[in-house]
Structure 1
Amino acid sequence: MTRVTDLDLSADAADLLEQLVDIESVSKNEQRIADAVQAALLPLTHLTVTRHGNTVVARTDLGHPERVVIAGHLDTVPVNDNLPAVRDQAEGTDVLRGLGTCDMKGGVAVMLKIAAGVPAPNRDLTFLFYESEEIETEFNGLFLLAQSDPDLLRADFAILMEPSDAVIEAGCQGTLRVDVIARGERAHSARSWKGVNAIHRAGEILDRLNAYQARMPVIDGLEYHEGLNAVFVNGGVAGNVLPDVCTVSINFRFAPDRSEAEAAAYVKELFAGFECEITDSAPGALPGLDRPAAKEFVEAVGGEVNPKFGWTDVARFSALGVPAVNFGPGDPMLAHKQEEFVPLEQVYRCEAVLRTWLGA
């Protein structure tokens, strides 16, 4: 039996973060860290703690009219010679380097400090420490909870503690992947006039991409920037054969005021005359900054809000009618990098903001 690693929830947030980082938790290997989180939370009498696979849920039940979910994933991408954690400096700022410091154990450390240190919050809270965010949806702890226990995700507002440089990033873009297929007719390259080169036909697909003008809608005062880009081109049979198929794989990052169906219809219209096969799709999330809890949280953070460029699990909450924002320590541009680190002052700032907002 694997010994449960002790986590000291009374420790400084930076020390707690170092403890978390030194528990290796690559996706699908989260049992040890989930055991540690569960063991640390179980003695806290103001919380009801349950386990769902390697996802740990802790809830208050104080009878408040408002409930807020605070969520963070426990897993990381694979180790890249970046464990154990190391204290260091970057541009004169104290940082912690190591796998998961930024994405997103800095946020998990803050969650644990709030769960332990705010026993009587002014809102009821649900803490979700979930598994397998970094891999396929079928393993994602939030996805699995939404299937098995959707009530655990229901709330008036949700905060996903993904790295956001300790400022609010509201909502998120949707994402759609589509294969646009150009067809031709095979022929020997020495007699090319006897066939139709599918790769040459695919040039029109690229021309349409080059002519694309990005839409930039303003939603809740935030300007989102759409993007449509080829990410793969696949075609060819042999060095002396005209190919009869060429596929351009395209990723469309669309603003959250479009539905998945609207995004798919837009892409298919843009590439009319070519076959389009949708290979992957996920909805965006509207900011929802008009909700009372969101407004008060924005005020607590200082009023600065940015749109989220990219897709995060806030979309899972949005699908349940729960407005959600990203708010956590760390630069999202450092996520998954070998040199990943988190500024410790951002860890402390996120903890302080949440304590203030929750009335501690």
Structure 2
Amino acid sequence: MTTPQLDLSADAVALTAQLVDIPSVSGSERVLADAVEAALRALPHLTVERDGNAVVARTELGRAERVVLAGHLDTVPIADNLPSRLEDGLLYGCGTSDMKSGVAVQLRTAATVPEPNRDVTFVFYDCEEVEAARNGLGRLVRTHPDWLAGDFAVVLEGTSGLVEGGCQGTARVRVTVRGQRAHSARSWLGQNAIHGVAPILAKLAAHQPRRVVIDGLEYREGLNAVGIEGGVAGNVIPDECAVTVNFRYAPDRSEQEALDYLREFFGQWEVEVTDSSPGALPGLGHPAAAAFVAATGGEVRAKYGWTDVARFSALGVPAVNYGPGDPNLAHTREEHVVCAAVLECEERIRHWLTA
């Protein structure tokens, strides 16, 4: 199959359309990764590496600082929203907002800023939209952490053009109550496990979420039941019931501290960890971060949710989220991006790296 040719001389909106029109549902990014690799290898000022369907390009200018611009190539499954179309200043299509407009900004920056004031590493990776075990950035963290080294990182996920510092950590646990099974006609012979979760639900309902300010950003925690499982049959007193709880915690807690908190909170009940990912500190005190915030308008908010900035934080690289897409449009049939926002994001990144 012939590798599509990306025109990096086109503006960021036109380049976004080119990227969108190359389908790259998670696990099927090879054609797009080939196109990105070919386009970057044509730029003599970059060193290019490839790992699976992840592509990494670096300047090697000996600058005092190195920054990382990262974005994923994959999308969720197509929802009758290809090819892309331009209408009234909006570009529609699968991945326009999440996050091929951000990838276009990365590629335009790589092509048009050959001598940035900081060395730059450009990271394009696969499988962000699926389970964490397949995440291409996570694979690079495990196999090539040296490729991701830097003083500061920007993940160009959609933020509607605002800087979002760090991210929350997330943990899911299964809290189980054991009872004794019996026939419902003789319920006094059993112990109803579903009834037994009432104190757990009451404790969660009464929970007051902690608020914490880090680098001037307020993170609000959340501890919520997100699922409940129990019951055997319509005539059986159930002997087991489990509540699934999601804890979104501020990044001043480590992953272990968050899990310890959950075990203490649920006390006598059986707690099983089913999923856990640490948060990321915003690191806005770093000079490169301060310069980035100034170059992008000076407005910063806390990131509510988990993103791949946490993977950089785990490597000791402070990171923020900043991209032209609207996160509320991600994964929708009507997904689109505002063309002016894409051009503005490109200009602000260029200003940061040339001022």
Report the TM-score, using the length of structure 1 for normalisation.
Answer: 0.97
Q: Give the SS at the match of 1:29.
A: coil
Q: CA deviation at 1:137?
A: 2.0
**Aligned: 1:357 with 2:314:** no
**Aligned: 1:325 with 2:324:** no
- RMSD of aligned Cα (Å): 0.9
What is the one-letter code of the residue matched to 1:96?
A: L
1:223 corresponds to which of 218, 225, 231: 218
**Aligned: 1:316 with 2:311:** yes
1:110 is matched with 105
1:71 is matched with 70
1:9 is matched with 8
Mapping for residues 47-196 of structure 1, pairs under 5 Å: 47-89=46-88, 94-196=89-191
Give the whole-Å Cα distance in 2 for the aligned partners of 1:341 and 1:258.
36
2:200 is matched with 205
What is the one-letter code of the residue matched to 2:169?
A: G
Give the whole-Å Cα distance in 1 for the aligned partners of 2:200 and 2:95.
39
Q: Give the SS at the match of 1:25.
A: coil
1:36 is matched with 35
1:248 is matched with 243
Deviations 1:237-263 (A, max 9, x none): 111001100010011000000111111
Provide structure 2 residue ranges, at least 5 long, that are not aligned to the other structure. none
Moved more, 42-51 or 264-273: 264-273
Q: Give the SS at the match of 1:7.
A: coil
Q: CA deviation at 1:140?
A: 1.2
Q: Give the SS at the match of 1:116.
A: helix
Give the whole-Å Cα distance in 2 for the aligned partners of 1:121 and 1:269.
50
Instruction: Show structure 1 runs of 4+ deviating over 4 A.
Output: none
Give the whole-Å Cα distance in 1 for the aligned partners of 2:329 and 2:260.
34
**Aligned: 1:232 with 2:231:** no
2:286 is matched with 291
Give the whole-Å Cα distance in 2 for the aligned partners of 1:40 and 1:216.
45
Give the whole-Å Cα distance in 2 for the aligned partners of 1:324 and 1:151.
16
Give the whole-Å Cα distance in 2 for the aligned partners of 1:326 and 1:153.
16
Q: CA deviation at 1:138?
A: 2.2
Q: CA deviation at 1:189?
A: 0.5
Q: CA deviation at 1:29?
A: 0.1
Residue-pair matches, total = 355
Q: CA deviation at 1:281?
A: 0.5
Q: Give the SS at the match of 1:358.
A: helix
2:19 is matched with 20
Give the whole-Å Cα distance in 1 for the aligned partners of 2:353 and 2:64.
14
| Identity among equivalent pairs (%) | 62
Q: CA deviation at 1:88?
A: 2.1
Give the whole-Å Cα distance in 2 for the aligned partners of 1:193 and 1:139.
49
Give the whole-Å Cα distance in 2 for the aligned partners of 1:148 and 1:100.
27
**Aligned: 1:257 with 2:256:** no
Give the whole-Å Cα distance in 1 for the aligned partners of 2:188 and 2:72.
57
